[in-house]
Amino acid sequence: MPLLQEGEKIKGTYEVERFLGEGAFAEVYRVRHRFLGRQAMKLFKRVGMTQDEIEEMLGEAILLSRIGHPNIVRVFDANIFETPNGIRGYFTMENVSGGSLDKFWRSFGANLIPIETTLDIMRQICRGLAVAHNEKPPIIHRDIKPQNILIGYEADGLRARVSDFGLAKKVNPMTLLATAAGTLGFKPPETFSKAKADSCAGDVWALGVTLYLMLTNRLPYEVDPALGWSNKKAFEKECVLPASLNMDVDAGLEKIVLRCLEMDPAKRYQNAKELLDVLGMWKKPSPSKESVPKKTGSSESKASLGAHSPVNQEEGQRLARLAIKKAKDEGRLFEAADIMEEAFNKSPSLREKYANQVRL
- DSSP string over 116-129: HHHHHHHHHHHHHH
pLDDT at residue 77 is higher than 80: yes
* Statement to judge: residues 295 and 153 lie in one domain: yes
Which of 94, 126, 155 is the endpoint of a domain?
A: 94
Domain range for 49: 9-94
pLDDT at residue 170 is higher than 70: no
**Contacts of 61 by beta carbon, 8 Å cutoff, 6+ apart:** 42, 75, 78, 91, 93
* Structural domain count, the chain: 3
DSSP 199: -
Question: H or E stretch including 23?
Answer: none
* Statement to judge: residues 131 and 154 lie in one domain: yes
359, β-bridge pairs: none
Q: Is residue 3 part of a domain?
A: no
- Helix orientation angle between 350-359 and 333-346, rounded to the nearest 10 degrees: 160
Structure pTM?
0.81
| Range of 40-44, 116-120, 332-336, 346-350 with top mean pLDDT | 116-120
Say which residue, 360 or 207, is predicted with more confidence.
207
Give residue-wise pLDDT tens across range 225-256: 776 666 677 788 899 999 999 999 999 999 99
* Statement to judge: residues 83 and 163 lie in one domain: no
* Statement to judge: residues 61 and 200 lie in one domain: no
Say which residue, 122 or 36, is predicted with more confidence.
122
Confidence of residue 169 (pLDDT cuts 50, 70, 90): low
* Statement to judge: residues 188 and 106 lie in one domain: yes
Q: Which residues of 277-294 are buried (b: 16+ CB within 10 A; e: fewer)?
A: ebbeebeeeeeeeeeeee
Q: Which 3 state secondary structure label does DSSP give 223?
A: coil
**Section 157-164 average pLDDT:** 88
Q: Which of 121-130, 145-154, 189-198 has the lowest mean pLDDT?
A: 189-198
Which of 38, 66, 94 is the endpoint of a domain?
A: 94
Q: Is residue 2 part of a domain?
A: no
pLDDT the model gives residue 298: 44
pLDDT the model gives residue 60: 75
Confidence of residue 288 (pLDDT cuts 50, 70, 90): low
Q: Is residue 355 part of a domain?
A: yes
- The Cβ of residue 123 has, within 10 Å, a number of other Cβ atoms equal to 16
* Statement to judge: residues 83 and 145 lie in one domain: no
* Statement to judge: residues 48 and 88 lie in one domain: yes
* Statement to judge: residues 168 and 230 lie in one domain: yes
* Statement to judge: residues 68 and 20 lie in one domain: yes
| Range of 4-13, 150-159, 335-344 with top mean pLDDT | 4-13
* Statement to judge: residues 266 and 156 lie in one domain: yes
Encoded amino acid at 315, one letter: E
DSSP 73: -
pLDDT at residue 289 is higher than 70: no
Taking every pair of Cα atoms in the chain, the longest distance, rounded to a whole number of angstroms, is 66
Give the whole-angstrom CA distance, residue 334 versus residue 337. 5
* Statement to judge: residues 218 and 168 lie in one domain: yes
Q: Residue 85 maps to which CATH number?
A: 3.30.200.20
Give residue-wise pLDDT tens across range 308-320: 555 677 888 888 8
CB 286 within 8 A of CB 314: no
Say which residue, 167 or 176, is predicted with more confidence.
167
Indicate the average pLDDT of the chain: 83
pLDDT the model gives residue 293: 47
Give residue-wise pLDDT tens across range 4-25: 999 999 999 999 998 988 877 8
Give the whole-angstrom CA distance, residue 74 versus residue 157. 18
pLDDT at residue 117 is higher than 90: yes
DSSP 315: H
pLDDT the model gives residue 271: 97
